[in-house]
Amino acid sequence: MRLKIVQAGEPVLRQAARPLTSQEILGDEIQRLIRDMKETMRDAPGVGLAAPQIGLSLQLAVIEDREESLKELPPQELAEKDRRPVLFHVIINPQITLTGDDKASFYEGCLSVARFSAIVPRARAVHVEYLDEQGEPRSVEASGWYSRILQHEIDHLRGTLYLDRMQTRTFTSIDNWSRFWKGKPIGEP
């Protein structure tokens, strides 16, 4: 079932979400929620969706950067963003550590700030410890665009939007981004 994605201004997007217990994770309600969030993210389309974005203050997000969507992007852009396919997975109660001091700045959007984009500096690499959809502990070392996705979704679980991290003078509508900035190196805006 496709869920409604809430937009900036909804109080739930500015709250720290609560952790889930192992019992909750394995329950029918959360398992159904995960399936519905996956469908909603794919339908949007997006590469991640956090529970606060559908109005639920829970530390749960779904992530996937599908290979078929990457085929539409120029190879130069994929290389510049260090963007590769990411298989569907669920992160619950994540703990993130930025690794190294290296940062990357790219235009970023959000399903809860529809039709806008801005340049957001993010760490190039992160380490994330989390529980999967079965409540099993997992960890991942992520870099490039995958690192950006993880940071963006974990920010949602902490009540932070990309608007809080963006370079404010780069904030633009998607239409104007396509018209003036699409395909240009970040140093040019």
Q: Give, for all 189 residues of the chain, the pLDDT tens digit.
A: 899 999 999 999 999 999 999 999 999 999 999 999 999 999 999 999 999 999 999 999 999 999 999 998 999 999 999 999 999 999 999 999 999 899 999 999 999 999 999 999 999 999 999 999 999 999 999 999 999 999 999 999 999 999 999 999 999 999 999 999 888 877 644
Active site residues: 153
- Is 5 part of a structural domain of the chain? no
Which of 129, 49, 38, 127 lies closest to 88 in space, CA to CA? 38
Which of 134, 111, 113 lies closest to 50 in space, CA to CA? 111
Q: CATH number for the domain including 97?
A: 3.90.45.10
Q: Output the 3-class SS for 99-162.
A: CCCCEEEEEECCCCCCCEEEEEEEECEEEEEEECCCCCEEEEEEEHHHHHHHHHHHHHHCCCCH
- Is 151 part of a structural domain of the chain? yes
Let me know: does 37 contact 54? Beta carbons within 8 Å: yes
- Is 37 part of a structural domain of the chain? yes
- Is 6 part of a structural domain of the chain? no
- Is 186 part of a structural domain of the chain? no
Domain count, the chain: 1
Report the distance separating Cα 161 and Cα 136, nearest Å: 28
Cα 149-179-108 angle, rounded to 5 deg:
10
- Is 18 part of a structural domain of the chain? yes
**In terms of residue numbers, what domain contains 158?**
11-181
- Is 4 part of a structural domain of the chain? no
Q: Helices (H) and strands (E) in the chain — how many of each?
A: 6, 8
- Is 187 part of a structural domain of the chain? no
